[in-house]
Amino acid sequence: MEIVDKEIDWRLRVFDSMSYPTVILLPDKTIVAVNKRYLEKVGVEESRIIGRSCKEIKQEYYPDQKFPCNNNSECPLAKAVKYRTGQSVLLKHTDLHGEEGWEERVYSPILGGDGEVDYIIESIRDITRIKNLEKMYSGVRELIDRVVQSSVSAIIAADRRGHIIMMNKAAEMLFGHSAYSTDNINIEDYYPPGVAREIMSKLRDERLGGRGKLPITRVNIRHKDGTEIPVEMTAVIIYEDGMETATAGIFNDLRERQGVERQLKEAHAQLIQSEKLASLGRLAAGVAHEINNPLTSILLYANLMREKLEKDHPLEKNLAYILEDTERCKEIVKNLLAYSRQTNPTRKFFKLNDVIDESLRLIRDQKLFLHIKVVEDKAFPPILVNADKNQLCQVVINLIINAIDAMEGNGTLTLHTFENAEADKAYLEVSDTGSGISPEDMSKIFDPFFSTKELGKGTGLGLSMAYGMMEDNHGRIFVKETSPQGTTFTLELPLVPESDIILFETIG
């Protein structure tokens, strides 16, 4: 008997020291015992609880909790009795201070020797903290989700085998794949061949941004349609217990930025070019002025001498050479002055197509054209411009001669006029099927005296003069394209405003 008593005593002590409020009930729902914790929680004396039914207690002390007391098929206690297995129920309540809380009540049946349920132990766990954490966690998750989805950067994550597990809208746009696509696409397909592997090995490299991190890197990614797109990216490996479980990457499309960078670079190069040409122009103008007068007197006196010489005089041939070369010098000086814009253009309205006609008429009969096919592609209706027609013809003649030189006398020369009303510009293009301009020469071709032609064949003044003349006429000259298959030079002029055209047509 002593042993039994001791045993009961031991069991009671365990029951009382349980850290959860606990109640022991009979299958008919009468309360037979409650532990200390329970009394503390409810705040009443044991005598007011023992012997009463749990329904009464609940109605008295937890009026706001919704126990399924009136429905035996839902009452967890009745279920524990019926099925002889543990049951649980989650309940929301408001405590004495009006704070909302959550409880989990677990009902465990205690079976007697006959296998029937003798007692039920109900223990109550306060899970308010867990519930609150859960709520906070799902709130944070939702926020992160929204941040990720609305990010302008493309974000994707892949599992260890490279299968996409998450991608945001920006990523769908950048890669052209859908986040919910059922195609079995691997992260490797999101890059040109080999790039994904390279990124993974950089990610694992401790020296680059630390283990599992890739600092900002420029790469090309591959869109679904096969095009490669330059991006700036960072990436991370996600570890769980030291094991790689996933990778995530953030991508920013560089196309727009690269376009702007390129334009800036071009604008800068153009600025340098015009500064260079302007200073060379001043120098050239100075030299030309100084030389012009002596040249005129050389020509004058050499001509006088020739008149004085008797016919067939042995020196006559020498004098002819002097005159010829002096003329050549005068021509150079004239071009230099044109380049440095020391000549005054006389601007008039005329049809841009006229420049093609007149330039060709002036040089077409030359031997040079023997094996050249000339294609004229003239705008209709003709485009009106306001410029110095003679200067434009000189420019075009220079371009034609350069084109024929580049084709070494054999090929197709195309002359094309057109307009771009949106840009308010008229264009005249001279294209050849010649050998093209090398990248090293591109920055120098408009410099005075730059020529790749053999001595005596080129003065290197044609393009620099053209450059100056086009500026004088409020236009420009540039190389539209050049390759070993040929070159196109473009002359650009402002379109004449509609009102001026009407004026021109009435005057004639």
Ligand X SMILES: Nc1ncnc2c1ncn2[C@@H]1O[C@H](COP(=O)(O)OP(=O)(O)O)[C@@H](O)[C@H]1O
Residues that bind ligand X (CB under 6 A): 398, 402-403, 406, 432, 434, 436-437, 441, 445, 450-453, 458-464, 487
459 contact, one of ligand X, Mg ion, none, CB 5-8 Å limit per kind: ligand X
Residue labelled with tokens 């094309």 = 416
Q: Among residues 156 and 406, whose Cβ is nearest to ligand X?
A: 406
Q: Which two tokens stand for residue 283?
A: 């120098």
Q: Is the dihedral of CA 458, 464, 469, 474 positive or negative?
A: positive
The item of ligand X, Mg ion, none sharing an interface with residue 434, based on CB under 5 to 8 Å by kind, is ligand X
CB-nearer residue toward ligand X: 67 or 489: 489
**Selection from 335, 481, 484, 321 nearest residue 398 by Cα:** 335
Question: Is residue 415 a contact partner of residue 376, using CB atoms and an 8 Å limit?
Answer: yes
**Partner whose binding site includes residue 487, from ligand X, Mg ion, none (CB under 5 to 8 Å by kind):** ligand X
Give the footprint of Mg ion on residues 388-427 (CB under 5 A).
Answer: 402
3-state secondary structure of 310: coil
CB of 409 to ligand X, least distance (A): 13
Candidates 32, 12, 37, 22; CA nearest to 123 is 22
- Angle of helix 316-339 versus helix 462-472 axis, rounded to 10: 40
Nearer to ligand X, 108 or 452 (CB): 452
What is the identity of the amino acid at 142? E
Distances in Å between the alpha carbon of 186 and those of 162, 191, 231, 233, 277?
A: 5, 10, 19, 18, 55
Number of residues in contact with Mg ion under rule CB under 5 A: 2
**Taking the complex as a whole, how short is the minimal distance between the CB of residue 399 and ligand X, in angstroms?**
7
Strand partners, 231: 219, 253
Shorter beta-carbon distance to Mg ion: residue 402 or 482: 402
Cβ 265 to ligand X, closest distance in Å? 22
The least CB distance from residue 208 to ligand X, in Å, is 46
CB of 448 to ligand X, least distance (A): 8
Segment 420 to 479, residues that bind Mg ion, using CB under 5 A: 462
**142 CB neighbour count, 10 Å cutoff:** 10
**Minimum CB distance to ligand X smaller for 391 or for 487:** 487
292 binds, among ligand X, Mg ion, none (CB under 5 to 8 A by kind): none
Which of Mg ion, ligand X, none does residue 170 bind (CB under 5 to 8 Å by kind)?
none
Q: Nearest to residue 411, comparing CAs of 458, 368, 364?
A: 368
In whole angstroms, how close is the CB of 337 to Mg ion at the nearest point? 17
Nearest CA among 229, 202, 204, 226 for reference residue 216: 202
Closest residue to Mg ion in the complex (CB): 462
CB nearer to Mg ion: pick between 1 and 455: 455
Peptide linkage before 68 cis (omega within 30 of 0): no
Report, in Å, the least distance between residue 431 CB and ligand X. Answer: 9
Write out the H or E segment, with its range, that includes residue 377: strand 372-377
What is the contact surface with Mg ion in residues (CB under 5 A)? 402, 462
